[in-house]
Amino acid sequence: MRVLLNTKPMVFSNKTGVGYYVTNLYHALREYGADVIPTNGKTAGSLIDVLGKISTRVKRSIGVDHSSFFRMLGDNLAALVLRKGTPGDGYDLYHETTFGPLRETRQRFVCNIYDLSFIRFPNYFTKGFAEESKRNVSKNASVAERVIVNSRFIKDEAISLLGLPEEKIDIIPMAASAVYYSIKKPAERPREVRNFTDKEYILFVGTVEPRKNLKILIRAFKEVRTRYDLSLVMCGGLGSLSSEIISYAKEMNVEKDVIFTNYVQELTLLYLYNFASVFVYPSIYEGFGIPPLEAMACRTPVIISDIPPLREVAGDAALTFNPNDHEELTFAIDRALSSESLRAELSQKGRRKADQYSWEKVAAETVKTYQKALAN
C-alpha cells in the first residue's frame, strides 16, 4: 500500500493547526514504516517555504485584514509549484489533508475534517472563506472512502451538518509534539521569555481570531490584574479580524500588559509554556485543541472553556468555565493562582493526560483507515 499524502500545509514557515497535524502525521507514518510519499519534492518545498515567509512579511506590513489579494496570489503560486512536484499515478491511495478542492486522482482517497466552524460561525471568517470551505469540505467528504476526524464531537458535527454516514468516519485523536515537555527551569528566565515580559504571566496559544473567545480572556485578565501583578501573553499568528481583539485590549485599558507575540519558534514556545503561571484556552468552538495538550505536556496548569471537544481531550486534568461568563473565568484563574496545591494537582493530572496521546498511535490508526479505504 503506497499513500500519497497532501503535504502542502507542512511546507509553510508559519504552521497553523493543519500544518502542525500534517507535519507530525507525515513523520509519524514514516517512522511507523508506512509507504507514504509527500505531494511536494524538496525543490517545491523550498520554494513554498519562501512564499510562506513573504506572506508573513506582507501581513505584518499591511495587516491581515487587507492581504486577501496577496494570500490568493501566494496560494495560486504554491498550487502551481506543488503540481510540478507531485508524483503521477504511482500510489494506491490519496490522503487529502486540506480544506481545498480535491486534486485530480483516479485512486481512492481519504480526507480530514478538523472542524466545521465555518458552518457554525461563518461571521468569524472573512467574506467568501466560509462558503468556499463548506463547498470543498462537503464535496470531498461526500466522495471520500473514509473521513478522519480528531474528536467524537466533530464526528457528530459531520453527521448532523454534512449528512455523512457514521460508518465512514474514523476518530483519530491528535497528540502533543515531542518538542514540548517539562524542562528543568534555570534560576534566571531565558531570553525567549524576557523578550516579552518580566512578570508572571497567563498564557494563551493559538491564532488570534474571534472564535478563540479572547475578549472574554482579556476582560477576565483585567479583573485578575487588580489582585496580581501579571501579564497576559497571546502567542500565535494574527488571524482574520484580529484587529478588533487588539483594539479591545486598548478599550479595557490593559494594552500595556497584553502582549501579542505573533508567530514564535518552537524553542520560544517551549519556554513560554514552561514558565507560564497558568495556561488558558477560552475557545467557543474547537475540533480538538492541541495547545492545551502541549501545555499539559509541559506540566503547566490548564484552564479550558467548558465545550465538548475540550472536555473530551482534557478530561478532569483541567479547570473549566462557561465560555460566555468572564466572571467564571476570573474565578478559575484566581483559584489556580492562589493555590499552589491546586496548581501541583493540575500539573500532575495534565502530564498524565498528555501521555495518553501519541503520534505513534495516530500513525497506527491512520494506517487502519487507509486499509479500510482500500478494502471498500
305-336 burial, b at 16+ Cβ within 10 Å, e below that, comes to: bebebbbbbbeebbbbbebeebebbbbbbeeb
Structural domains in the chain, sorted by start: 2-39+86-175+358-375 (3.40.50.2000), 191-355 (3.40.50.2000)
Residue with cell 501521555: 355
pLDDT at 45: 45
Q: For residue range 195-227, what is the model confidence (pLDDT) as tens digits?
A: 999 999 999 999 999 999 999 999 999 999 999
pLDDT band, very low/low/confident/very high, at 2 (cuts 50, 70, 90): very high
pLDDT at 64: 41
User: Would the pLDDT of 301 be above 50?
Assistant: yes
Beta bridge partners of 304: 281, 320
pLDDT at 200: 96
Backbone φ and ψ for 14, nearest 5 degrees, come out as -105, 95
pLDDT (average), residues 155-173: 97
Q: For residue range 45-74, what is the model confidence (pLDDT) as tens digits?
A: 455 445 555 554 554 454 444 444 555 555
98-102, 141-145, 326-330: range with lowest mean pLDDT: 98-102
Backbone φ and ψ for 261, nearest 5 degrees, come out as -85, -20
Task: Report the percentage of the chain scoring pLDDT > 90.
Answer: 75
- State pTM to two decimals: 0.86
* Joined grid coordinates for residue 187: 534560576
* Joined grid coordinates for residue 82: 506543488
pLDDT at 47: 54
pLDDT at 198: 95
* Distance, CA of 32 to CA of 226 (rounded, Å): 51
User: Would the pLDDT of 192 be above 50?
Assistant: yes
Task: Report the percentage of the chain scoring pLDDT > 70.
Answer: 86
Residue 299 region, left (φ>0) first, then alpha (ψ -120 to 50), else beta?
left
Return the higher-pLDDT residue of 259 and 65.
Answer: 259
pLDDT at 75: 52
Q: DSSP state, 124?
A: G
